[in-house]
Amino acid sequence: MNIGIIGLGAMGSAVAQQLVTAGHSVYAWSRSGKEIAGVTSVNTPDQAMEGDITLTLLSDDAAIREVIIESGLLHQANPGLVHIIVSTVSVTFSHELDTHHRNARIAWIAAPVLGRPDVAARGELNVLAGGATDVLKKAEQILKVISKRIWHMGDTPAAAFAAKIACNMMITMAIEAMAEAVVITEANGLARERFFDLILNTLFGSRSYQVYSDNIVRRVYEPGFKATLGLKDLRLAKQAAADMEAELPVLEAVHQQMKRAVEAGGSQRDWSIMAEYTLRFSIQRSI
């Protein structure tokens, strides 16, 4: 199958490599001009819209609006194309994307993912798929290559994006919860390693707690998912809540804490750097 990729960041690169390994012909465009072994680089994004399926992995609403919408790219695409947006975009923008695709008569689905680039490199992402059933069926062959499971979120792309935003919101809440717990326990003589051994083997054994407790224990925050992207997704969650006129106080708290961590120099670190900011700030205040 001829597959187009738009966006070759860390996630896009890992996805492209998996598709090549699976035997597909992959044509990719990126702003950086990045090249990957086995992937044919194209000079313009419209060339990545000429095949059977195109996956877009741009960073945010603004990038997708510029590259896909304002350029009129959908109207230049192969009429039989299935467009899969893997990026995490706002719920509001997903409705706009629905209109643009319908006007261009291009089939599309949402397929944001749970998992970092290292997970993508193993083909073990969790894909949150939303869209028309017949389009999802056409896309499944490709989505299975990059995933360990495809989760069907319903008939609308908005549902899939809402689910992804909510999941990322909950991960940041878990990171902050662990950091605040360490503030209390470590101040009373309990090493964070022992505390996390307790919680991982009793109350909180999920992957998010496993991965990010390890970062907090080792004080290593190498980027798996950058804090700037985490902050972006928290802004999307706040926007979704505002659109519903819903008050979400914990979301407000983690958004502010992530924002402070980014502004304190953690923008390119893993988003769990928020925990380090919480720990340092709490210690400074207690002295």
Q: What is the CATH number of the domain that holds 254?
A: 1.10.1040.10
Question: What residues have CB less than 8 Å from 281, skipping those under 6 apart?
Answer: 260
Residue 118's CB: how many other CB atoms inside 10 A? 11
**pLDDT surpasses 60 at 287:** no
Together in a domain, 243 and 221? yes
Average pLDDT on 226-238 reads 96
Boundary (domain end) residue, out of 103, 126, 155: 155
Are residues 102 and 189 located together in one domain of the fold? no
- Same domain (yes/no): 131, 225: no
- Confidence grade of residue 105 (pLDDT, cut at 50, 70, 90): very high
> Number of structural domains, the chain?
2
Position 34 scores a pLDDT of 87
258 pLDDT above the threshold of 90: yes
The proportion of the chain whose per-residue pLDDT surpasses 90, expressed as a percent, equals 93
Final residue of a domain: which of 155, 190, 220? 155
Question: At residue 286, does pLDDT exceed 70?
Answer: no
Active site residues: 164
Q: Is residue 119 located within the same domain as residue 170?
A: no
Is the pLDDT assigned to residue 235 strictly greater than 80?
Answer: yes
pLDDT confidence of residue 254: 97
**Locate tokens 């009373």: which residue?**
188
| Residues 101 and 83 both lie in one domain | yes
- How high does pLDDT run on average in the chain? 95
**Domain containing residue 222:** 165-286
Percentage with pLDDT > 70 across the chain = 98
Q: In angstroms, rounded to a whole number, what is the distance separating the alpha carbons of residues 34 and 13?
A: 9
Contact criterion met (CB below 8 Å) for 84 and 130: no
238 domain residue, yes or no: yes
CATH number for the domain spanning 87: value is: 3.40.50.720
Does residue 281 carry a pLDDT above 60?
yes
pLDDT band at 229 (very low <50, low <70, confident <90, very high): very high
Identify the pLDDT of residue 122.
95
pLDDT, one tens digit per residue, over 166-189 is: 999 999 999 999 999 999 999 999
Q: Determine, yes or no, domain membership for 160.
A: no
Residue 67 shares a structural domain with residue 117: yes
Instruction: Inform me whether the pLDDT recorded for 284 exceeds 90.
Output: no
pLDDT at 192 > cutoff 70: yes
Once rounded to an integer, what is the mean pLDDT over residues 120-124? Answer: 95
170 belongs to a structural domain: yes
Say yes or no: 151 and 185 in one domain.
no
Q: If pLDDT is split at 50, 70 and 90, which confidence band does 196 have?
A: very high
Q: What is the pLDDT of residue 272?
A: 97
C-alpha 270/C-alpha 226 separation (Å) is 5
Co-location of 282 and 212 in the same domain: yes
Q: Give φ, ψ of 127 to 5 degrees.
A: -100, 125
Position 129 in a domain: yes
Above 80 in pLDDT, residue 101? Answer: yes
- Which of 135, 155, 175 is the last residue before a domain boundary? 155
pLDDT at 283: 64
196-210: b or e for each residue (b if 16 or more CB lie within 10 Å)? Answer: beebeeeebeeebbe
Residues 6+ apart with CB under 8 A from 47: 4, 27, 29
Q: Are 82 and 179 in a shared domain?
A: no
Specify whether 151 is located in the same domain as 170: no
Q: Does the pLDDT at position 110 exceed 80?
A: yes
Mean pLDDT to the nearest integer, 69-81:
96
Q: Are residues 150 and 171 in the same domain?
A: no
- Structure tokens that stand for 205 in this block: 């054994």
Q: Are residues 136 and 270 in the same domain?
A: no
